[in-house]
C-alpha cells in the first residue's frame, strides 16, 4: 500500500513530454464516478523546474532517491507523461468495487526503475503488460503507454449468500470448536473448478504481507473460530486478487465501450478546466451499497441525477463550478421555487468597501410551500400516497399566499463590522484569610455586527409578536425600533425595524437608527451588485476586511498562522443561479491576491502557511 501511495503522490506532479494521449476511452461505460486532472495545465501554473526546487518537490525526490538508490533530480524522471490527463474512476459490481487510476506514461523504463530490486523481482509479465500485486487488494499494471493502479474491495454482502460462498469454497464460521475440525475441503481446488475458464489464464499467489513493521501483538490463543475466520479471509483475498488482475488486463488489453458514450459524463468535461469530476446519480450509488432487503427505503434521492464539477485556476481566480441533474418534475418544482429575485431595495444598505461578508437567498415562499409536498412524495416512493395525503392536508391548513405575504422568501445577511463591547463576568476575590467573595469584573469582547433584512408585504403578524414581547418585558420599544437585549438564549443585542416592506434585524443600534432616519449610506460595487441580483443564492467573505477590522488586542491573541492566513487571503464568493436546463448549478470563486502569481501557487503558499510548524 505504501508503494501505491508513493506512486500516487508522484503522479500528481509528474509527466511532461510525449504525445497527448487521452485515457478516458479506457474508463468503463458503467463507471459510477470519474475524476481527472490535466497535468499540462498544472505544470503551466507551477513549472516542473520550480516544483523540483520547492520544499515538497525536494521531499518527494529525496524520498524517491533514497528508496530506489537512484539520484532523482526532476519529477519528470518518474517516466510519467505530464502533458496529458490523469484519470481516476470508480466502478462497482454486486461482488466487488474498484477504485482505479489511469496515468499516461512517457517512459515505462523510468517507472520500473522506481521499484527497488526486491520489488522488481516480483513483477509479472503477460505479453507487453507487466504487473505487480502489492497486496490482495492492490495492483499496479502498466504497458508502454499507461500505468494503471487498481484497488478492489470485495462487497461484504457478496459472500453472505451461502450458495455463493460455498461456490468459492467458503464455509459458514463454526459456532464451536468441533464444527470446524471436520474434513477440510481444498478451497483452492474448489476455486479452480469454479473459476471462469474463459478468462485470461493467470495464476495468482496468495496476497503478500506488506513490508511494514508492526509491533509484536500479544499472543492470542487461536480458536477454531479465529482460525476459520483467517482461512476465509485468505480465500476472499485470493479471489479478489484474481478478479482484480482479470479486470485490469481487460481494461488495458481490450477496447470496451467507454464512459465517452455517456452524455452526462461528457457534460462534465471542459477543455479549459484543470480538473473535473463526475458522479452517477446518488440514488444509484446509494442503492448499490444496500442489500436487496433495504432497497424499498432508498427512494429518497429519487429525481436527483448525476453530479459534475470542474476546477479552474488562472492568474486571478480559482473557480469551482458544479451541477446536479434533476428529473423533469424536480426541475419544474425548483424552477418555480427559484423564480424570485432579491429585493433591489436591500442594495442601498451594503457598504462594499468595508464589508466582511454576506449571504443572500431568494426563493418564492408560495411556490416553496406548494411544491414541497410534491418533492417529498416523489422521494418517498413506497409511502407516496401517505405523503401526498399529508401534503394535501398541509395545503388545506396553510394559506400559502398569506404566508408568502409575511415572508416573501428573499433575505440578505451582512456582516458589516467588528465592535469591541464591554462585557461583565463573575469571578472571585479572596480576602487576606482566603475567604471567597463573588465579584463582577468587566472585559472587552469583540463581536461582529450583523445586519439582516427580509422582505415582507404584511408585517402585522411580526408586529403582533414583537408587541407580545413588549408586554412580557422581553422586548424594548423606542423610536420605531424594537430591541432584544442579550441573554442566555441570545448572545447579542438585537434591534428590529420594520420599514418600507423590509424587516431589518441588526446587532448595531447605530446601523438600525441610521436606517430608521434614512441616513444610512451604502456603497455597493458593481461586482457584488451583479452577484446579488443575478443569483438565487450567494455568499461572500473577505478575510482581509475581517483581518483589517479586527482590534489589535484581538489580533494579538490570535496565532500567527490565523492572522497571516486572514491577511493574505483573497475574497471568496459562492453563487447559485437556480435551474438551467434540468440542472441546478453553483459556483465558488476565490480571488488570487495581487502579490501572488497564480491560483495554484497561491494555494500552495496558503497550504505552506497552515502546515508550517509554529
Partner 1 sequence: MFKIKLFIILLIIPVFLSSCFEVIEEITLGKDGTGTMALTVNFSQSRTRIAAIMLTDSIHGYKVPHKQEIQQEIDKTVALLNKMPGISNVKSTADFTNFVASIHFSFKEVANVNHLIRALLEQYKVESANIPTYNYNKDETRFTREYTYSGDVRTQFNQLTNRDREIFNNAAYVSIFRFESAITSYSNKQARISKNQQAIIQRLSITDLINGRANISNQIQLSK
Q: In the complex, which residues of this chain contact partner 1 (CB under 8 A)? A: 357, 359, 411, 413, 415, 418, 423, 425-428, 430, 432-436, 443, 445-448, 450, 452, 486-491, 546, 554, 557
Q: How far is the CB of 150 from partner 1 (least distance, A)?
A: 33
Which cell is 395 given?
Answer: 395545503
SS3 92: strand
Contact status, residue 521 vs residue 461, Cβ threshold 8 Å: no
Q: Is 488 left (phi over 0), alpha (psi -120 to 50) or beta?
A: alpha
Give 142 or 541: the residue with its C-beta nearer to partner 1: 541
Give 203 or 426: the residue with its C-beta nearer to partner 1: 426
Contact status, residue 239 vs residue 272, Cβ threshold 8 Å: no
Q: How far apart are CA 439 and CA 610, in angstroms?
A: 41
Give 427 or 595: the residue with its C-beta nearer to partner 1: 427
Give 71 or 433: the residue with its C-beta nearer to partner 1: 433
Q: How far apart are CA 204 and CA 122, in angstroms?
A: 12
Q: How many residues are given for the chain?
A: 614
Give 154 or 418: the residue with its C-beta nearer to partner 1: 418
Give 292 or 434: the residue with its C-beta nearer to partner 1: 434
Q: How far apart are CA 37 and CA 17, in angstroms?
A: 16
Q: How far is the CB of 508 from partner 1 (least distance, A)?
A: 14
Give 84 or 456: the residue with its C-beta nearer to partner 1: 456
Q: How far is the CB of 281 from partner 1 (least distance, A)?
A: 25
Q: How far is the CB of 7 from partner 1 (least distance, A)?
A: 30
Give 354 or 487: the residue with its C-beta nearer to partner 1: 487
Which cell is 216 given?
Answer: 509484536
Q: How far is the CB of 400 from partner 1 (least distance, A)?
A: 17
Q: How far is the CB of 307 from partner 1 (least distance, A)?
A: 21
Q: How far is the CB of 426 from partner 1 (least distance, A)?
A: 4
Q: How far apart are CA 521 and CA 518, in angstroms?
A: 9
Q: How far is the CB of 319 from partner 1 (least distance, A)?
A: 22
Reference 208, options 128, 129, 121, 127; nearest CA is 121
How buried is 198 (Cβ within 10 angstroms: 0-12 exposed, 13-18 middle, 19+ buried)?
exposed
Q: What is the dihedral of CA 410, 415, 421, 424, to 10 degrees?
A: 60
Q: What is the dihedral of CA 104, 108, 111, 117, to 10 degrees?
A: 150
Reference 306, options 332, 336, 276, 333; nearest CA is 276
Amino acid at each position: 500500500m505504501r508503494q501505491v501511495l508513493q506512486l500516487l503522490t508522484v503522479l500528481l506532479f509528474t509527466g511532461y513530454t510525449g504525445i497527448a494521449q487521452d485515457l478516458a476511452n479506457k474508463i468503463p461505460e458503467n463507471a459510477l464516478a470519474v475524476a481527472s486532472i490535466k497535468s499540462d495545465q498544472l505544470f503551466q501554473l507551477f513549472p516542473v523546474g520550480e516544483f523540483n526546487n520547492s520544499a515538497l518537490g525536494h521531499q518527494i525526490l529525496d524520498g524517491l532517491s533514497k528508496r530506489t538508490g537512484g539520484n532523482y533530480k526532476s519529477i519528470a524522471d518518474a517516466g510519467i507523461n505530464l502533458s496529458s490527463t490523469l484519470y481516476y474512476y470508480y466502478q462497482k459490481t454486486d461482488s466487488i468495487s474498484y477504485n482505479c487510476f489511469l496515468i499516461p506514461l512517457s517512459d515505462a523504463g523510468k517507472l520500473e526503475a522506481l521499484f527497488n530490486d526486491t520489488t522488481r523481482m516480483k513483477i509479472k509479465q503477460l505479453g507487453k503488460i507487466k504487473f505487480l500485486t502489492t497486496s490482495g487488494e492492490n495492483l499496479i499494471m502498466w504497458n508502454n503507454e499507461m500505468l494503471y493502479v487498481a484497488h478492489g474491495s470485495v462487497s461484504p454482502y457478496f459472500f453472505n449468500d451461502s450458495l455463493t460462498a460455498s461456490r468459492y469454497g467458503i464455509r459458514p464460521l463454526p459456532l464451536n470448536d468441533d464444527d470446524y475440525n471436520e474434513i477440510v475441503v481444498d478451497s483452492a481446488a474448489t476455486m479452480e473448478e469454479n473459476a471462469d475458464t474463459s478468462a485470461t489464464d493467470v495464476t495468482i499467489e496468495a496476497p503478500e504481507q506488506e513490508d511494514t513493521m508492526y509491533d509484536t501483538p500479544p499472543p492470542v490463543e487461536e480458536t477454531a473460530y479465529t482460525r476459520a475466520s483467517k482461512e476465509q479471509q485468505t480465500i476472499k483475498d485470493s479471489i479478489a486478487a484474481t478478479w482484480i488482475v482479470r479486470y485490469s488486463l481487460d481494461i488495458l488489453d481490450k477496447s470496451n465501450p467507454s464512459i465517452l458514450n455517456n452524455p452526462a459524463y461528457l457534460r462534465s468535461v471542459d477543455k479549459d478546466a484543470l480538473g473535473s469530476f463526475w458522479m452517477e446519480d446518488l440514488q444509484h450509488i446509494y442503492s448499490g451499497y444496500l442489500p436487496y432487503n433495504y432497497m424499498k427505503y432508498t427512494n429518497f434521492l429519487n429525481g436527483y441525477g448525476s453530479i459534475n464539477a470542474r476546477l479552474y485556476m488562472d492568474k486571478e481566480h480559482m473557480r469551482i463550478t458544479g451541477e446536479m441533474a434533476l428529473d423533469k418534475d424536480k426541475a419544474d418544482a425548483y424552477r418555480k421555487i427559484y423564480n424570485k429575485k432579491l429585493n433591489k431595495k436591500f442594495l442601498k444598505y451594503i457598504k462594499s468597501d468595508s464589508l466582511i461578508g454576506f449571504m443572500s437567498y431568494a426563493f418564492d415562499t408560495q411556490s416553496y410551500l406548494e411544491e414541497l409536498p410534491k418533492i417529498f412524495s416523489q422521494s418517498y416512493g413506497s409511502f407516496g400516497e401517505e405523503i401526498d395525503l399529508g401534503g394535501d392536508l398541509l395545503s388545506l391548513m396553510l394559506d400559502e399566499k398569506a404566508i408568502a405575504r409575511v415572508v416573501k422568501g428573499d433575505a440578505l445577511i451582512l456582516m458589516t463590522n467588528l465592535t469591541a463591547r464591554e462585557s461583565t463576568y463573575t469571578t472571585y476575590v479572596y480576602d487576606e484569610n482566603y475567604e471567597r467573595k463573588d465579584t463582577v469584573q468587566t472585559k472587552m469582547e469583540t463581536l461582529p455586527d450583523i445586519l439582516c433584512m427580509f422582505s415582507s408585504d404584511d408585517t402585522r403578524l411580526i408586529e403582533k409578536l414583537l408587541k407580545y414581547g413588549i408586554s412580557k418585558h422581553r422586548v424594548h420599544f423606542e423610536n420605531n425600533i424594537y430591541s432584544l437585549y442579550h441573554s442566555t438564549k441570545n448572545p447579542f443585542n438585537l434591534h428590529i425595524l420594520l420599514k418600507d416592506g423590509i424587516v431589518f434585524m441588526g446587532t448595531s443600534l447605530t446601523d438600525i437608527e441610521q436606517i430608521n432616519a434614512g441616513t444610512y449610506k451604502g456603497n455597493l460595487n458593481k461586482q457584488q451588485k451583479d452577484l446579488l441580483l443575478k443569483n438565487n443564492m450567494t455568499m461572500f467573505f473577505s478575510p482581509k476586511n475581517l483581518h483589517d477590522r479586527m482590534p489589535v488586542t484581538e489580533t494579538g491573541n490570535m496565532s500567527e498562522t490565523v492572522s497571516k492566513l486572514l491577511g493574505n487571503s483573497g475574497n471568496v464568493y459562492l453563487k447559485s443561479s437556480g435551474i438551467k436546463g434540468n440542472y441546478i448549478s453553483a459556483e465558488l470563486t476565490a480571488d488570487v491576491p495581487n502579490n501572488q502569481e497564480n491560483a495554484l501557487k497561491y494555494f500552495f503558499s496558503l497550504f505552506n502557511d497552515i502546515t508550517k510548524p509554529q
